[in-house]
Structure 1
C-alpha cells in the first residue's frame, strides 16, 4: 500500500535554497484548579478559607468553590468581573468615610449576588417536606403489551440544561487540556525561527446560546413537587467510584503531561481529535466519571501507544471529512496513511509477541472509534470490524481477562476496561451477525453468579449488566435457530428468557427525565432510562425469534410504543445520548409499522442531531431503517393468500446483506 509522505517546509536564504524540516511538539497536561472562582476571576491568590475565603469575606463577595454556571460563558464572566470591580470601588469609597460606614453599617444592603447558579440543596428544605407526587410512569411487564403509556406534555418548559453544573461533577476535580505547539524551523540543521502557541480545550461544555432547547419538562405544580423529590433522591444516589476501571495505564493521576512530536499536518489532526472527537466518545462514561475518558484513557494512550496514536489521527481525519462534507484526495490520503500506519504498528507488535495490552487497546479503538465517526457510504478500503475482533479474541484470551473477571477467587480492585469494551462489542456485534457471542460462557457465568456480576457495562454504556447478559443469551438462541432448532424448543426458550427479563425490572417504576431540580444530569436515572430502552429492545429481539412473528401483531406494536415512550426521556441533540442507542433504534425501528409514533419520533431525533445523524453507527441505522420501511410499506397482501394481512417481518440484517453492508451498529 502506498504511504503518502508528509510535506516538508522550505526556507530560502540569501545565497542558497535549503530544505528545512518543520515539526511540532504537542504538550498536553491536566491542570487541577484551586481557589474559589471569584478569586480566579480576579486573578488573586485565594487562601481557600471556609465557608468563605478571606478576600471574599473582606469585600463582601459571593465565594464559590463549585464551578458556577457563569464561569463557562465569556460574556457572563466579563459582567461578573465588572460587578466585582464596582463592589470593590464602592467598598474603598466607603472606607474613606469610616464614620459614615460605622453608623450606617446596619442599613447597608448585601452586595448583588455574583452567581446565577440554580439553588443548592440548602434552599430546598421546605419543599422536601411536601407530599411526593404520584408517579406518572407506568410499569412495563412482558405480557402486558397493549397498555397505553401515560404521555406527559414536554413542550411547556424548556430550561437551559448544563451538564457541567457543580452538582453534576461530584468529586471529580475540574480540569482543562492545554495543547502547547512549539514549531521550529531548521536551515541546514541550524535552528532559526521558533514559534510557540497554546490552545486550551476545556472538558466543560460551553453553555448553549440563549434560547437553545436542550430538554423539556412539564411545568406545573405537580412537576415542581416531583423535581424537588427527585432532587432529594439525587442526594442519596450511590457514591461514584472514579477509579472503577483499570485503563491499563496505572493508577489515576491528578496531573498528566504528554509530549508528542508530529508533522504539521498531523498536528492539525490531533488538535481536531482533541477538540471535536474526544468529547463525543463514551458519553455515558463521561457523565458518570467526568474527565476520565480524556485523562485516564485517551491522552496517556496517545503518548505510550504508537498504534493507538495513528488510529486516533485516522479517526480525526474521518471525522473532519464527515463533518465538513469534504471530498478531497488529501484527506483520503491522510485517512489511508494513518490506517496503514496503525496496522503496521499492530502487526509489528504481534510479531514480537509483546505489549498485548497496547495491541488490544489500539485494536478496540479501530473497531469502536469507527462506530463513532465512520460513514456508512465511505468507499475507502478498510478491514471489516469482525476481522479486527478475531485479534481481540486472541489477545483477550492471552491476557486471561475472561477468567479474571469471572473467577470468584479473583478479587480485582478495578475492572479491566478493555474487557468491558470487548464485552460490549462482542454482545451487540454477535446480534449483527446472527451468531453467539465469543465470550457468551463468561457472560452466562456472570449472570448466574451469586456475588458481584458487574463487568462495568452500566458504567461504560448505561445499560445494566444483567440486561446485556440476557441479550447475549438471546443471540445464542438465534444462532441455534439458524442451525435448525425446532419451533417448540425455540418457544420454550423464548418463554424462559422472557421470565428472566421480567426479573431485571423488579422494583422499577418506569422512566423519568434524568435531571435534578437544579438542572444537572442524574447519571443514575439516565442509566435507568437507558436500561429500560435496552430491555424493551431485547424483548423485541426475543419476540422476533418466535415462529410466525409479524411487526403488525398487537404485542409488537405495544412494545414499540413503550420503547418510544422511554426514549422520550433520554436527552437528545448533539449533546444528548441518541448516538449511544444505535442498536436500540435499529431493533425497535425495524419492526415499527407505518403510522407508528416511533417513526415520527425518530425523524425528530434525526433533525435534532443535525449533521451528526449522518455518520457513525447512528448514520448507518438511519440508512438501514429507511430501506426497511420502504420495503415494509410497499407490501401488498396477495389475493391468493390464506387471508392473513399481517405485515411480513423484513429482517434488517437481510437488508444489510443485500446491500453488501458490514456495519457494527452499537
Structure 2
C-alpha cells in the first residue's frame, strides 16, 4: 500500500485512494461522484494503520466504486439525453430539490413536469377515467418485449419486493396487477420502468448506457402520465375520477419503490405528499362529516364504490381497483410512519390508525399490514404512537415546558402494549398451525407456511426495534443500557439464526438499522457480514443504505454531542434534508 496523500482537511477516502479531494463536508465531490462512502473524521481512523485493516478498507472502497457503477451510468445517460436533444433544457433524473408549492398533489405534478419536459402532453376526454389517455393509448398492443417484462415483474420482481403479499386464490391472488397493467397506461408505465431496471440487473447489463436510456425513457413516460392525470384530478371532484385516483395512487407508490430501489431519496417526500393528499381526498370526498376515528366505514364505502367485485362460481373476487387501493393504502401507511420517525413529526395519517389498523369486535382490521409487509399491525401502531410522543417531546423542549412525568407515563403505556403483544406472539410460536379441510387450504399450507412462520419472526424483529426506538425517545442515546443491549442482541439473534432466507433482511431494513446504530463495537463485523452476504448488492439497496447509516454512527461513536443524538439524526442522508425511507 502506498502512503495516502497528505492534503489538509481531505477526506480519508480520498487520502486512502490517493485522489485529489476538494475537502467539502460532509461529502466531498470526488466521493459523491463515485457514490462511495466519504469518511470525514477529524481523527485518523483506526483502519488507517498502514497494514491489513487499511488494505481491507481499500478493497471495500474498490467494491463500492464497482458496485455503484450503475448509478453513475444512469446520471451520464440523463446528461447525454439532455445534451443531444435539440432545444431541450438540461434534464435531471432525480432533482435535488422539490419545487415549492402549497399543494402536495400539484407538487408531484410539477416535479414530474421538470423530469418529463420532453414528453408531449397526452390529451384527455372530459368525463372519462383520467388515467385512460386517448383511444390510441388505451388500445396499444403489447410488444413481445413488454409482455416478457410484465411477466418478469409478476413472476419474479413483485414476489421479491413483497414476499409476504400472497392473497388467497379466493381473493383473486395477484391477478389485479395484470388487470391494472392492461387497463391503466400510468400503472403500466410505472411497472414497466421497474421491470426494465430489475431485468437489466438480472442480465448484468445495468451499467450499459443504452439500457439506462431505455429505463429513463420509460420513467419519463410514467411521470408525464402522472403529471397530466394529477392535473385532471386536481381540477375536478375526486368522486368523478375515483378509479383513476386509485390507479394514480398505486402508480405513485410504484414510482416511490423504484426511486428507493436505485437509492434516489430526493423525491421521496414529494411522492409521499402526493399519495397522502390523494388518500385524504378519497376519504373526505365521500363522507367529509365522518370523524377520522370512524374512517373504517368510509374505507368500506370507497371499496364498495370501486366495485363491483367479480363473481367466479359464486365466489366474490375483489375488483382490480379494490385490491390496488387496499394494497397501496398499506404501503402508504407504512411509509408515513417510517417518515415520521425520521422527521420527528406526527404521522400524517395518524388520525386514521385507530379505525384502519385496529381489530373491531374481533373482525379483521380494514388494512392488514402483515399480509403486505409481514409485520403485524400492533407493532406499527406503537411505532406511530412513539413518533407522536417524540414530536410532542421536541415541541415541549423548544417551548421549555417538558413534563418528564407525563413523558414517562405515555411511554409506559406504549412499552406495556409492545411487551404484552411480543410475549403473546412468542408463546404462540409453540402452537401447531391449523388447517381447514379444503383443497385451497392444502395449496395455501404448502406454499405459504414458511412465510407464515417468517411473518412471526419479522414481527418480533420489528417489535424489538420499536422498543429500542421508544427507549431512545424517552431516555436519550444510551447504547450501554441493559434494555438496549437486550433488544439489540435479540434482533441480531433472530436475523442470524432464525431467518429462512438472508434476502428477507430487505423487508426489515428499518429495524436492522435501528439495532445497528446502537450496536456494540464487537457486533459491528457480524452486522457487516449479514449485508455482504446479500448478492447482487444492487437489489439490496435499502439494506446497504442502512449499513451506510450504521457505519457513520460507528465512526462517530465517541465524537460530537452524544447527549443530543437520536435516531432521527442518524437517519439523515449525510447531512442532507432528503427523506431516507428504509422500506
Under a length normalisation based on structure 2, what TM-score does the superposition of the two structures give? 0.59
Q: Select the structure that is richer in strand.
A: 1
CA contact (8 A) 1:278 1:294 kept: no
1:473 is paired with a residue whose SS is helix
Q: Report the equivalent of 2:461.
A: 533
Describe how 1:502-513 pairs up with structure 2 within 5 A.
502-509=419-426
1:417 is aligned to: 327
Alpha-carbon spacing, 1:518–1:281, altered in 2? closer, same or farther (3 Å)? closer
In the TM superposition, what whole-angstrom CA distance separates every residue of 1:108-131 from its partner, at most 9, and x where no partner exists?
Answer: xxxxxxxxxxxxxxxxxxxxxxxx
1:537, 1:587 within 8 Å by CA — same for their partners in 2? yes
- What's the CA shift for 1:538? 0.4
1:365 aligns with 2:245: no
Alignment match, 1:620? 545
Q: How does 1:336-355 map to 2 (within 5 A)?
A: 336-353=216-233, 354=241, 355=244
Distance in 2 separating the partners of 1:459 and 1:269: 25
1:319 aligns with: 198
Contact 1:549–1:649 (CA under 8 A) maintained in structure 2 = yes
How far apart, in 1, do the equivalents of 2:247 and 2:407 lie? 41
Query: Alpha-carbon deviation of 1:387?
Result: 0.7
Separation (CA, whole Å) in 1 of partners of 2:431 and 2:218: 39
Deviation per CA, 1:302-357: give whole Å up to 9, x if none.
11111111111211233245552633322232222122111111122222223111
SS in 2 for 1:505: helix
Query: Quick check: 1:657 aligned with 2:569?
Result: no
Indicate the SS of the match to 1:341.
helix
| Matching of residue 432 in structure 1 with residue 432 in structure 2 | no
How do residues 24-423 of structure 1 correspond to structure 2 at under 5 angstroms? 261-262=141-142, 269-270=149-150, 272-274=152-154, 276-286=156-166, 289=168, 295-322=174-201, 324=204, 326-353=206-233, 354=241, 355-371=244-260, 374-376=261-263, 384-400=267-283, 406-407=296-297, 416-423=326-333
SS in 2 for 1:530: helix
Question: 2:509 aligns to what?
Answer: 582
Give 1:498 shift: 0.8
Residues 315, 370 of structure 1: 8 Å contact kept: no
How far apart in 1 are the matches of 2:151 and 2:298?
44
Give the corresponding residue for 2:374: 462
Shift of 1:611: 1.1
Q: Which entry has the higher C-alpha Rg, 1 or 2?
A: 1
Distance 2:358 2:181 in 1: 38
Q: Secondary structure at the match of 2:141?
A: strand
Q: How has the CA–CA distance of structure 1 residues 487 and 618 changed in structure 2, closer, same or farther, with 3 Å as cutoff? A: farther
What CA distance in whole angstroms lies between the structure 2 residues aligned with 1:445 and 1:518? 33
> Are the aligned partners of 1:560 and 1:588 in contact in 2 as well (CA < 8 Å)?
yes
Residues 505 and 554 of structure 1: is their aligned pair in 2 closer, same or farther, counting only changes over 3 Å?
closer
Q: Which residue is 1:57 aligned to? A: none
Write the distance in 2 (CA, Å) between the matches of 1:548 and 1:347: 43
Give distance in 2, aligned partners of 1:510 and 1:426. 31
Structure 1 pair 551–647 and aligned structure 2 pair: CA distance change class (3 A):
farther
Work out the CA distance in 1 between the residues paired with 2:245 and 2:163.
Answer: 27
**Structure 2 counterpart of 1:563:** 491
Contact kept in structure 1, 2:357 and 2:368, CA below 8 Å: no
Q: Is contact 1:590–1:628 with CA below 8 Å preserved after alignment? A: yes
Residue matched to 2:20: none
- In 2, Cα distance between equivalents of 1:607 and 1:445: 41
Please list every run of 5 or more consecutive structure 1 residues that lacks an aligned counterpart in the other structure: 1-257, 639-645
Question: Closer, same or farther in 2 for the Cα pair 1:492/1:600, shift >3 Å?
Answer: same
Q: Could you give the per-residue CA deviations for residues 596-631 of structure 1, whole angstroms, max 9, x where no partner exists?
A: 3xx454334324322146633223212222222222
Are the structure 2 counterparts of residues 274 and 458 from structure 1 closer, same or farther at C-alpha, using a change threshold of 3 Å?
closer
Cα distance change of structure 1 residues 420 and 306 upon mapping to structure 2, 3 Å threshold: same
Structure 1 residues 361 and 523: CA distance shift in structure 2, 3 A: same
Hey, what's the Cα distance between the residues in 1 that align with 2:446 and 2:330? 32
- Shift in Å at residue 267 of structure 1? 5.7
> Structure 1 residue 552 and structure 2 residue 480: aligned?
yes
Query: What does 1:610-649 correspond to in 2, within 5 Å?
Result: 610-612=535-537, 615-632=540-557, 635=558, 649=565
Q: Is the 8 A contact 2:477 2:563 kept in 1?
A: no
Q: How many residues of Structure 1 are paired with residues of Structure 2 in the alignment?
A: 390
**Do the aligned residues in 2 keep the contact of 1:512 with 1:569 (CA within 8 Å)?**
no
Give the whole-Å Cα distance in 2 for the aligned partners of 1:360 and 1:519: 30
Answer whether contact 1:628 1:655 (CA < 8 A) is retained. no
Conserved in 2, the CA contact under 8 Å of 1:490 and 1:546?
yes
When the two structures are superposed, what TM-score results if normalisation uses the length of structure 1?
Answer: 0.52
More helix by share: 2
Kindly report the root-mean-square deviation, in angstroms, between the aligned alpha carbons of the 2 structures: 3.8
Q: What is the CA-CA distance between 1:514 and the residue it aligns to?
A: 12
Q: 3-state DSSP class of the match of 1:586?
A: helix
The CA distance in 1 between the partners of 2:484 and 2:218, in whole Å, is 45
- Distance (Å, rounded) in 2 between the aligned partners of 1:272 and 1:518: 23
Instruction: For residues 542-569 of structure 1, give each alpha carbon's deviation from its aligned partner in whole angstroms, at most 9, with x where no partner exists.
Output: 0111244311222211111112223332
Separation in 2 of the partners of 1:392 and 1:519?
Answer: 33
Q: Which runs of 4+ in 1 moved over 6 A?
A: 290-294, 401-404, 411-415, 513-520
Residue in 2 aligned with 1:472?
384
Contact 1:322 1:375 in 2 (8 A): no
